[in-house]
């Protein structure tokens, strides 16, 4: 059995249904050895602050209570230890403003929660494979955030 | 004897000489007549010529005098009207010239020559006429010794000098008499000359007549004197003429200068008139202008205002004219203004005043108002002025402010709407994702005959649909607030709360919570639907978040605070941290990620309803000590007991 592309995947999602959907998408895909779940921004930051381990990929919902998805994203991209972990932003809306702000905060990719389950599953799969095969990507070129 | 002989011989010699003498007499008469004709012709000729030229001379002198007078008047006028240095100098020069002319004229009139002129010419003429008669008689042999006396008399000329004063006066008066006198004198001289000629003729023809010879000599003397006189007279006349022509020349020169000056004066007058007309016109234009117009001079003094300025600044014209323009400017700007003003006068151009600064006018009563000022330089003969046009922009400012308010209000509304739209799409789409996703999975689980997973999916689908319907319901409620006209009626709050309690019975039972309602809560003039919505949402909120454990109490009551009645809904739940006290009333704000039921709209709906009627809602809470939602209705909506009684009776 070949090793899976990802050792650890962190899903940050407040909506249980959506988290379950993602889990089922990933099930049997043989993408990640372990899938961690955070229910909100606070929990996500707690998990990320664990220095003993580091996820290979973060799937991050933007619409989180208390600490928003963008806040988590900014935190990740400012922390030199986890800065290189790719972050895929999840959102229900394909709004221009969401997309721009996500990329402004240096999100690596952007995934719309698709209504069609099969399509969604395929996209999740592709993203997992892509970032998995990148396997420890080279340090990102230093990029100042576009925000002033 | 000898004497006789002598006498006889004398008589003898006389006889033939008489016959010769007769011929001579005839000849003499002829010559005399010829002379007479010549004399009268010459006299007439000379007389009329002289008369003509002298009349001209006199007329010219008269005109000269008039012109001198006119010039003097003009000079006077010029003094008055034009104060130009050059003109004053020219005027003075002219005056001096006139003085010189007058002086020379006076000199002529008082000169000896003129004084000696006046002869009693008529007397002369008369004498001459008599003399002629006598001469005739002499010629005809009747010699009158009296004639000799007359000739002597004539020679002495003593009597003729008597009336010189009259002649001087006539010359001074510049009358024609002077000239006619001279004229007569001339013809007289001619006459005397012819008389002398006649006598010489007689002497030739009657050489023996001593008396005639004597007479002739005396006449010649007279004639010499007369010639001398005539010569002097000629010279005088020539001098006079010369002076007069000099006078005329000067008069002409002066006249041309005067005419020039007159033209210039007329031109200036015209210009002054035009200026005056223009000024009058511009003044009326200024007066009629809808703006306040005021003109200031280089010293910053107000020289012209229209009635609009009076109205704007509440001053009268008299209070403003001559005063510094700074009195119309608030004190805090006064210090700087003269500097601005001076720099403007250095490089005047038409432009709005103040650049980007906001300008303020000061009224006489000390109040201020925003103004807009346009500046226009006016270059006139009297120097540079600045015409300032002042507009009161209070109304414009106000409407600008109002517009800005509307705009920011609209912008706020717009961004709120955008936010709502964003959240609505997100929140509506979220359960849709669940629905679709699990429906797909459901099919797969059914194929795999995984009963447990089918059940799970079905439940999730059910929850998602109910969430969606809640959300839609709440959205509908929210959209109706403020959009749908509500009927306001007098409501018993206790009755409304009882109804809410009934509708909430299942939830109350599920949470095993108690609802305690205070007795005798106030009556309200309100829409029943909205009032129900307020308490339904608040109680639902308290049930969801304030009753985590069974057997907890929710209270609804009232409290009098600062003379106002406040209503409250209180729970004993975990409470809300202070930092979220404002946030919870905003749209789609949920504090708990595990919150499955809340749509995030309930408190926003309550807040919105109260905001529309002028009421407020706030939370008083701390973590672990429960929450109290305070509601303040505007006092006008709360009914007094008396009003309530009246309503119930009605």
For the stretch B459-515, pLDDT in tens is 888 888 888 887 788 777 777 776 666 778 888 888 888 988 888 888 888 888 888
Tell me the shortest Cα–Cα distance from A129 to chain B, in angstroms.
21
Cα B253 to Cα A15, B106, B240, B276, distances in angstroms: 118, 21, 19, 33
Tell me the shortest Cα–Cα distance from B638 to chain A, in angstroms.
38
Tokens linked to A63 = 């619409």
Q: What is the pLDDT of residue B246?
A: 67
CA torsion sign for B32, B38, B44, B46 is negative
Q: ipTM beyond 0.90?
A: no
Tell me the shortest Cα–Cα distance from B437 to chain A, in angstroms.
5
Nearest to A65 among B422, B463, B593 (CB): B593
Nearest to A115 among B433, B463, B590 (CB): B433
The span from the CA of B61 to the CA of B57, in Å, is: 6
The span from the CA of B615 to the CA of B566, in Å, is: 10
Tokens linked to B555 = 């209270």
In three-state secondary structure terms, B573 is coil
What's the distance, CA B487 to chain centroid? 65
Cα B297 to Cα B4, B133, B303, distances in angstroms: 123, 93, 7
Q: First CA to last CA across chain B, in angstroms?
A: 193
Q: Which of A41, A64, A115, A116 to mutate to test the interface with B (most CBs of B within 10 A)?
A: A115
Q: What is the pLDDT of residue B181?
A: 58
Query: Tokens 């576009």 — which residue?
Result: A146
The verdict on a CB contact (< 8 Å) between A65 and B592 is: yes
Tell me the shortest Cα–Cα distance from A20 to chain B, in angstroms.
9
Tokens linked to B262 = 């007159």
Tokens linked to B629 = 């939602």
Nearest to A14 among B433, B438, B593 (CB): B593
Tokens linked to A27 = 């099930």
- B68 versus B249: the higher-pLDDT residue is B249
For chain B, the residues whose C-beta falls within 8 A of a C-beta of chain A are 422, 425-426, 429-434, 436-441, 456, 460, 463-464, 590-596
Query: Tokens 């020039």 — which residue?
Result: B260
**Taking the CB of residue B596, how many other CB atoms lie within 10 A of it?**
15
Tokens linked to B421 = 């739209």
pLDDT at B117 over 70: no
Tell me the shortest Cα–Cα distance from B595 to chain A, in angstroms.
9
Q: What confidence tier does B363 reach under pLDDT thresholds 50, 70, 90?
A: very high
Nearest to B593 among A39, A116, A120 (CB): A39
B174 contacts B163 by C-beta, under 8 angstroms: no
B282 contacts B303 by C-beta, under 8 angstroms: no
Residue of A nearest to B445 (CA): A24
Taking only the tens place, the pLDDT of each residue in B594-625 is 555 566 778 888 888 888 888 889 988 877 77
Tell me the shortest Cα–Cα distance from A97 to chain B, in angstroms.
10
Cβ-Cβ pairs closer than 8 A, A with B, add up to 68
pTM to 2 decimals?
Answer: 0.44
Mean pLDDT calculated for residue range B188-208: 59
- Helix, strand, coil % (nearest 5) of chain A? 40, 20, 45
The verdict on a CB contact (< 8 Å) between A66 and B591 is: yes
Question: Comparing C-alpha atoms, which of B589, B572, B588 is closest to residue B623?
Answer: B572
Residue of A nearest to B443 (CA): A117
pLDDT at A105 over 70: yes
Taking only the tens place, the pLDDT of each residue in B344-359 is 888 888 888 877 778 8
Q: What percent of chain B has pLDDT over 90?
A: 4
β pairing state of A32-38 and B627-632: unpaired
Mean pLDDT calculated for residue range B152-159: 44
Cα B477 to Cα B376, B470, B481, B560, distances in angstroms: 62, 11, 6, 31
Please list every residue in chain A whose beta carbon sits closer than 8 Å to the beta carbon of residue B441: 21, 24, 117
Mean pLDDT calculated for residue range B364-373: 90
The verdict on a CB contact (< 8 Å) between A39 and B440 is: no
Q: What is the pLDDT of residue B426?
A: 75
The span from the CA of B315 to the CA of B365, in Å, is: 9
Please list every residue in chain B whose beta carbon sits closer than 8 Å to the beta carbon of residue A19: none
The verdict on a CB contact (< 8 Å) between B436 and A15 is: no
**For residue B301, what is the DSSP state?**
B
What is chain A's length?
Answer: 148
Question: Comparing C-alpha atoms, which of A90, A86, A99, A100 is closest to residue A147?
Answer: A100
Question: Which residues lie below 8 Å from residue B251, measured CB to CB, with a gap of 6+?
Answer: B63, B64, B67, B68, B101
């Amino acid at each position: 059995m070949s090793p899976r592309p990802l050792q650890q995947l962190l899903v940050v999602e407040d909506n249980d249904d959506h988290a379950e959907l993602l889990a089922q998408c990933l099930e049997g895909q043989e993408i990640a050895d372990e899938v961690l779940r955070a229910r909100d921004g606070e929990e996500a930051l707690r998990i990320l602050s664990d220095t003993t381990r580091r996820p290979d990929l973060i799937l991050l919902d933007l619409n989180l209570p208390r600490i928003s998805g963008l806040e988590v994203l900014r935190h990740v991209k400012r922390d030199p230890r986890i800065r290189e972990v790719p972050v895929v932003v999840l959102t229900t809306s394909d709004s221009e403003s969401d997309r721009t702000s996500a990329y402004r905060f240096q999100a690596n990719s952007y995934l719309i929660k698709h209504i069609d389950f099969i399509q969604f599953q395929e996209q999740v799969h592709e993203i997992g494979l892509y970032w998995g095969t990148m396997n420890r990507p080279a340090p990102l070129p230093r990029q100042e955030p576009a925000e002033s | 004897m000898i004497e006789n002989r002598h006498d006889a011989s004398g008589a003898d010699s006389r006889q033939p000489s008489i016959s010769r003498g007769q011929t001579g007499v005839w000849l003499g008469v002829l010559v005399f007549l010829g002379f007479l004709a010549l004399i009268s012709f010459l006299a007439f000729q000379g007389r009329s010529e002289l008369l003509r030229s002298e009349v001209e001379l006199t007329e010219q002198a008269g005109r000269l005098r008039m012109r001198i007078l006119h010039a003097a008047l003009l000079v006077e006028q010029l003094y008055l009207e034009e104060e130009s240095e050059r003109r004053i100098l020219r005027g003075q020069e002219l005056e001096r010239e006139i003085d010189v002319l007058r002086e020379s004229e006076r000199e002529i009139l008082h000169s000896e020559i003129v004084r000696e002129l006046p002869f009693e010419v008529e007397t002369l003429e008369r004498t001459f006429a008599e003399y002629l008669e006598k001469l005739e008689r002499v010629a005809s042999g009747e010699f009158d010794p009296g004639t000799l006396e007359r000739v002597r008399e004539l020679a002495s000329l003593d009597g003729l000098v008597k009336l010189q004063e009259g002649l001087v006066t006539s010359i001074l008066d510049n009358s024609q008499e002077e000239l006619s006198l001279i004229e007569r004198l001339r013809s007289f001289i001619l006459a005397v000359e012819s008389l002398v000629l006649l006598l010489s003729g007689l002497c030739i023809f009657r050489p023996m007549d001593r008396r005639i010879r004597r007479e002739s000599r005396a006449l010649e003397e007279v004639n010499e004197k007369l010639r001398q006189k005539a010569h002097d007279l000629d010279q005088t006349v020539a001098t006079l003429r010369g002076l007069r022509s000099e006078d005329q020349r000067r008069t002409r020169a002066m006249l041309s200068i005067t005419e020039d000056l007159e033209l210039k004066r007329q031109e200036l007058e015209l210009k002054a008139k035009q200026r005056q007309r223009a000024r009058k016109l511009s003044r009326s234009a200024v007066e009629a202008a809808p703006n306040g117009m005021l003109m200031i001079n280089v010293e910053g003094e107000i020289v012209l205002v229209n009635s609009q300025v009076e109205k704007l600044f509440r001053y009268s014209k008299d209070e403003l004219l001559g005063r510094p323009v700074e009195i119309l400017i608030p004190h805090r700007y006064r210090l700087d203004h003269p500097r601005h003003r001076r720099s403007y006068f250095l490089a005047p151009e038409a432009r709005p005043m103040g650049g980007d600064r906001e300008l303020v006018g000061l009224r006489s009563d000390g109040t201020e108002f925003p103004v807009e000022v346009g500046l226009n330089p006016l270059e006139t003969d009297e120097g540079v002025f600045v015409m300032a046009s002042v507009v009161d922009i209070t109304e414009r400012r106000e409407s600008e402010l109002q517009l800005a308010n509307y705009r920011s209000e609209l912008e706020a509304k717009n961004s709120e709407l955008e936010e709502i739209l964003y959240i609505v799409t997100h929140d509506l789409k979220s359960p849709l994702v669940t629905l679709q996703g699990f429906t797909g999975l459901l099919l797969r689980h059914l194929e795999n005959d995984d009963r447990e997973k089918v059940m799970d999916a079905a439940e999730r689908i059910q929850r998602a649909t109910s969430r969606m319907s809640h959300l839609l319901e709440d959205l509908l409620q929210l959209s109706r607030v403020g959009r749908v006209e509500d009927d306001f009626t007098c409501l018993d709050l206790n009755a409304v709360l009882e109804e809410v309690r009934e509708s909430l019975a299942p939830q109350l039972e599920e949470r095993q919570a108690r609802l305690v309602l205070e007795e005798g809560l106030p009556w309200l003039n309100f829409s029943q639907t909205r009032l129900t919505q307020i308490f339904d949402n608040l109680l639902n909120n308290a049930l969801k978040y304030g009753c985590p454990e069974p057997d907890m109490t929710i209270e609804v009551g009232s409290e009098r605070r600062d003379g106002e009645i406040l209503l409250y809904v209180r729970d004993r739940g975990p409470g809300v941290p202070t930092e979220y006290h404002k946030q919870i009333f905003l749209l789609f704000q949920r504090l708990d990620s595990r919150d499955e039921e809340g749509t995030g709209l309930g408190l926003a709906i309550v807040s919105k309803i109260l905001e529309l009627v002028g009421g407020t809602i706030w939370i008083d809470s701390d973590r672990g000590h429960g929450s109290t939602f305070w509601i303040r209705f505007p006092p006008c909506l709360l009914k007094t007991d008396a009003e309530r009684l009246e309503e119930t009776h009605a």
